[in-house]
Amino acid sequence: MGQNARWPLRPIADLSARGLDDLVEGAVNWRIWYLIGASELRQRYARSRIGQFWLTLSTALSTLILGAVWSVLWNVSLSQFLPYIAVSIILWQLMSALLTEAGSLLASNRHLLLSQRLPCSTLIYAMLFKHFLLFAHNAVTIAIVLIVFGVGLAPTLLLLPFALLLLAVTAVWFCYLLTIVCTRYRDLNHAVQSAAQLVFYVTPILWKPTFLSEQYRPYLILNPCHDFMMILRSSILGDPFPYQEWAMCGLFAATGYLIALPIIGRYCRKILYWV
């Protein structure tokens, strides 16, 4: 088939290979996405004495207030609920930041795409690096809460790097698809931000799955944010190993690449005309 053949007639394998090449080329340019991510952090906290730890302080304060209020509302002791709230909120900040920023990522960095030959995946990696670095800063709050409330380091903490890696691998294809759609149709960026708010309420962040009646609990596994929240949170808090959630996260990641790679290969060269 020629290069001008329509989408249904293009070989899926060729498109997938092109999409994979874009992801690999962006990953190889690690120096570029490292510099982009680090420079964005420096610009955000320029002339600040404590820099990005302002975010850590605000996160710690909001976590303390929310934990105190919701422990009263749910009639749960603060020592049991605050570590759960702290871990959940900081993990959600990571996931929601990736969701909300992906939509406007290419439009806000059009100067980089138009001034040099740069795979769009490079900007995806830069965004991931920036937000995972912010998560590392906010993890100080988690450590302080765990120490204050006497929550020891569980052996499951060894699983945390693998859970974060699985989240990062999944975020690559998901954010790429999201940024393609939102760059082509700019109004969808606002819809994504509204959807993130709704996902926050239906994901166990300010409440525990055990607070639901048993007839509704099985439906939680259909929420990918819940699944990733479970594998990350259980690793930190030492909860029982969530076999089903790990399986769902792995399935979500693998299935996503099968769907995303042909789409990335189809549109990765057309994005420049949309930004």
Query: How high is the pLDDT of residue 53?
Result: 65
Q: For residues 75 and 72, give the distance between their C-alpha atoms in angstroms, rounded to a whole number.
A: 5
Query: How high is the pLDDT of residue 185?
Result: 87
The residue with tokens 């549109």 is 267
Query: How high is the pLDDT of residue 152?
Result: 73
Do 248 and 221 touch, CB atoms closer than 8 A?
yes
Q: For residues 226 and 126, give the distance between their C-alpha atoms in angstroms, rounded to a whole number.
A: 25
Do 261 and 20 touch, CB atoms closer than 8 A?
yes
Neighbours of 126 (CB within 10 A): 25
Measured over the CA atoms of residue 103, residue 109, residue 111 and residue 117, the dihedral's sign is negative
Q: Which residue type sits at 206?
A: L
Do 22 and 268 touch, CB atoms closer than 8 A?
yes
Q: Which residue type sits at 184?
A: R
Q: In terms of C-beta distances under 8 Å and separation of at least 24 residues, what long-range contacts does 106-109 make, across chains too?
A: 106/179, 106/183, 106/271, 106/274, 106/275, 107/183, 107/186, 107/275, 109/36
Ranges of each domain in the chain: 13-41+51-273
Query: How high is the pLDDT of residue 164?
Result: 96
The parts of the chain modelled with pLDDT lower than 50 are 1-2, 5, 7, 9
Query: How high is the pLDDT of residue 1?
Result: 45
For the CA atoms of the chain, what is the radius of gyration? 20
Cβ partners under 8 Å of residue 232, min gap 6: 87, 91, 160, 163, 164, 167
Single out the residue of 190, 192, 181, 186 nearest to residue 270, CA to CA: 181
The residue with tokens 């990733």 is 228
Structure tokens at 81: 């609920």
Query: How high is the pLDDT of residue 216?
Result: 85
